[in-house]
Amino acid sequence: MSVPVTVHPLEEYPSLPPAAPPVVTVDGPEFFRHLARVLPAAGKDNTLPVLTMVSLTLSGRSLRMATSDRYRLTVADVPAQPRETDTEAAEPTEAVLVPARVPAQVAQAPGHVHRPDRDRHPRRGTVPAGHLEHRGRRDHHRHLRRRAHQSGQPPAHPAARRRDRQPRRPGEGRSTPT
């Protein structure tokens, strides 16, 4: 069986635009440490897409990250080194909204995880992202459940306790008012 594949010359495709220069440089571990603080407050409701974003605002030498789910607001400031330009006399303020799932996926990208300490901590990893690098625990709750089951103690995570509980039979385990 043969399948014909039509290939066009490379010259027929338009060239890609040049990459934009970096706007700011931040310390990778510090960036991901503060990002881990603000991501849990990002909204999960897709009917309000602006609340599922991380607001990144560069003002002077600080990068501010903020998230909200309507009930709580989390803000973190990261020291930053903005791009030096000759034409800008005043310190600019730049802002962008990034979907919260994007940095969360970067921090857990399996294709980019380097595990130098795999034997000691099987769920630890390093995520290089340009000059950023994140070291953190993955699947922490799964690790707690596995460790608890191996030791014979009840699991530490509440969701694991609910899942391991035997279903009740009608009238069993509950007192009925008389």
Give burial (CB, 10 Å; 0-12/13-18/19+) of 24: middle
pLDDT digits (tens, 9 = 90+) for 73-123: 999 999 988 776 644 544 667 888 999 998 888 777 654 444 444 434 443
| Ranges of each domain in the chain | 21-141
**What is the C-alpha to C-alpha distance for residues 61 and 138, in angstroms, rounded to an integer?**
31
pLDDT band at 175 (very low <50, low <70, confident <90, very high): low
Whole-model pTM over 0.85: no
Q: For the structural domain made of 21-141, what CATH number should be given?
A: 3.10.150.10
pLDDT digits (tens, 9 = 90+) for 59-82: 888 999 999 999 999 999 999 887
Handedness of CA 171, 175, 177, 178 (dihedral sign): positive
- State the alpha helices, DSSP H only, in the chain: 28-38, 101-107, 140-151, 158-164
Give the chain's mean pLDDT. 70
**What number of residues does the chain have?**
178
Three-state SS for 3?
Answer: coil
Highest mean pLDDT (candidates 5-14, 120-129, 164-173): 5-14
Q: Which two tokens stand for residue 117?
A: 């300490």
What mean pLDDT comes out for the span 131-158? 45
**What is the C-alpha to C-alpha distance for residues 117 and 25, in angstroms, rounded to an integer?**
28
Left, alpha or beta for 6 (phi > 0: left; psi -120 to 50: alpha)?
beta
pLDDT digits (tens, 9 = 90+) for 16-35: 888 888 778 888 888 888 98
